[in-house]
Amino acid sequence: MGMTELDRKLQAGALLGRRIEGDRLVLADAVLAQALDGSRPLTAGERAALQGSPLTLRRLRHLADSRRAQAQPVGWRGSRGLLRVADSGNALDLLRTDDGMWRLHFVDAAGSLAVVVQLDPEAAGAAEVMEARPAIEVRDGRGALVLEGQLDADGECEGPWPFEALPAAHFQQHGARFEVIPRATPIT
């Protein structure tokens, strides 16, 4: 059974709240920033060092929060996300963008797989996006179209899953990345 959102939040709180005598920053901000933007994944040793240092974990959280705050320009231009799960054998049912604005749900719709993109109404800038109700596109790391359409009154758009491979395998094969963008406008 997979972890629930509450389980993830509790685990994150427990990890971030730990105190270790003599703890210090074990990874440079540049390394953490590259891990956050996906330009360089952490090595096994770096991951172990990060997990063993609550101070470094808190610094990573601070950098991620700062990036999210800075990523909210006037007028939404797009959001990116990464597949951040290990293959547990369970079906992928949810992805989130790094800025917390969008969620991708993968659901069984009458025996076939569907993808639903949903605007988080609590995210910074969501009210502005909801007011504009733009036509959007969801693209994988290769740039292939996953979904396109107009946001409805609930801030959602849905369609059939367009690929043969299941979502986890598909995203893993295509850079483990995705983006939600206004239709025909790339993220700059």
- Predicted confidence band at 44 (pLDDT cuts at 50, 70, 90)? very high
pLDDT in tens, 85-103: 544 555 677 888 988 899 9
Of the chain, the percentage scoring pLDDT greater than 70 comes to: 83
The contacts of residue 7 (CB under 8 Å, 6+ apart) are none
The contacts of residue 65 (CB under 8 Å, 6+ apart) are none
pLDDT at 103: 92
pLDDT at 85: 58
Residue pair 117/157 in contact (Cβ under 8 Å)? The answer is yes
- Predicted confidence band at 186 (pLDDT cuts at 50, 70, 90)? very low
User: Could you give the CA distance from residue 66 to residue 43 in angstroms, rounded to a whole number?
Assistant: 23
pLDDT in tens, 105-124: 999 888 889 999 999 988 88
| CA–CA–CA angle 126, 100, 88 (5° rounding) | 145
pLDDT at 49: 86
